[in-house]
Amino acid sequence: MWTFIHKLGSPPWFFGFSGTLVRWLLPVTVTLLLVGAVWGLLVAPPDFRQGNSYRIIYIHVPAAVVALAGYYVMAFAGAVSLIWRIKMADVTMRAAAPVGAVLTAIALVTGAIWGKPTWGAWWVWDARITSMLILLFLYLGVVALFEAYENKTAAARACAVLSLVGMVNIPIIYKSVDWWYSLHQPASIKFTGESAIDSSMLYPLLLMILAFYCLFALTLLLNMRAELLWNHRDSGWLKQLVGDI
């Protein structure tokens, strides 16, 4: 176990390992996405109240769920980087931030598109959407802070501190926004709050969530590999690798 973790810290080893992982993950992700999308968009029954417009949850909910999980991945990598000073953790954190930000943006845009037929407005200050917006700001803060530092090692540490504080804060933010929303508007239509979602709709949703987790892992790995290529553009092992190809 420890040797495995130790190996993970070595860029050349990780580059090879992640290459294998990507080769496996790519077909799995594409299959899951295709099956989930066809099942959710074509096979699952329409909602009796919202008709077909509800189907956007097959994109919106997975994106929202994975975006939040992505922040925890980033913060965890930040903690590892601060405590054990492993460079690969820096790379993970740096790679996770833009992926998470894009997922959050997808969740926001699909939420807005869903809002139009549901509430008749593109933007409603619903608890979930508001929380997503704040999550987007948190992500953008990490990305912007990283870009602002010239010394990238220092940048990674600063981002680690920020994302850890953000991680502590996220449950408080989500809870406070929930309270704020329930105080101001009695919940008439909730986004996904109904626990009585029919299993014929639920299974494709779970499948799509799984697919998005795979998608996140895949893009994270690809992003990390790109980051590694750039960081080690002058190092011997990479030149050798390129030479071999």
Partner 1 sequence: MPSDQPLLSLRVVFLRQFLRHGRSIMTSPADVANPLLFFFMVITLFPLGLGPDPTTLAALSPGILWVVALLASLMVSAKLFASDFEDGSLEQLALAPYPLAVTALAEISAQWLATGFLLALLSPLFGVMLGLPDEGLLTLSVSLLLGTVCLTLIGALGSALTVSIRRGGLLLSLLIIPLNVPVLIFGTTAVREAVLGGNPESWLALLGGLALGSLVVAPLAIGAALRVSLDS
Partner 2 sequence: MLLEVTQVAIERGDRRLLSDVDLSVSGGEIWQLVGANGVGKTSLLRGLAGVARLGVTGEIRYAGAFLYLGHASALKSSLSPVDNLRWHPASDVTASVGQICEALAAVNLAGYEYRPVGSLSAGQQRRVALARLLLSDAPLWLLDEPFTALDVAGCEWLEGCVRRHVNAGGATVFTSHQPSRFGPLQQDLDLGRYAV
Q: Which residues in this chain contact partner 1 in the complex, by CB under 8 A?
A: 82, 134, 137-138, 140-141, 144-145, 148-151, 153-155, 157-158, 161-162, 164-166, 168-169, 172-173, 175-177, 179-180, 183
**Tokens of residue 202, six digits:** 């639920």
CA-based angle 228:100:36, to the nearest 5? Answer: 105
Q: Which is nearer to partner 2, 128 or 157 (CB)?
A: 157
122 binding partner (options partner 1, partner 2, none; Cβ < 5 to 8 Å by kind): none
231 binding partner (options partner 1, partner 2, none; Cβ < 5 to 8 Å by kind): partner 2
Q: Which is nearer to partner 2, 7 or 152 (CB)?
A: 152
Amino acid identity, residue 92? Answer: T
CB of 242 to partner 1, least distance (A): 32
The rounded distance, in Å, linking the Cα atoms of 152 and 40 is 43
CB of 119 to partner 1, least distance (A): 22
How far, rounded to the nearest angstrom, does the alpha carbon of residue 200 sit from its chain's CA centroid? Answer: 26
12 binding partner (options partner 2, partner 1, none; Cβ < 5 to 8 Å by kind): none
The rounded distance, in Å, linking the Cα atoms of 211 and 24 is 14
Q: Which is nearer to partner 2, 34 or 144 (CB)?
A: 144
Task: Specify the length of the chain in residues.
Answer: 245
165 binding partner (options partner 2, partner 1, none; Cβ < 5 to 8 Å by kind): partner 1
The rounded distance, in Å, linking the Cα atoms of 33 and 215 is 9
Using CB under 8 A, list all residues that contact partner 2: 150-154, 157, 231
Burial of 60 (0-12, 13-18, 19+ CB in 10 A): buried
CB neighbour list of residue 99: distance below 8 Å, 6 or more residues apart: 70, 216, 219, 220, 223
Q: Which is nearer to partner 1, 38 or 83 (CB)?
A: 83
CB of 232 to partner 1, least distance (A): 22
Q: Which is nearer to partner 1, 20 or 151 (CB)?
A: 151
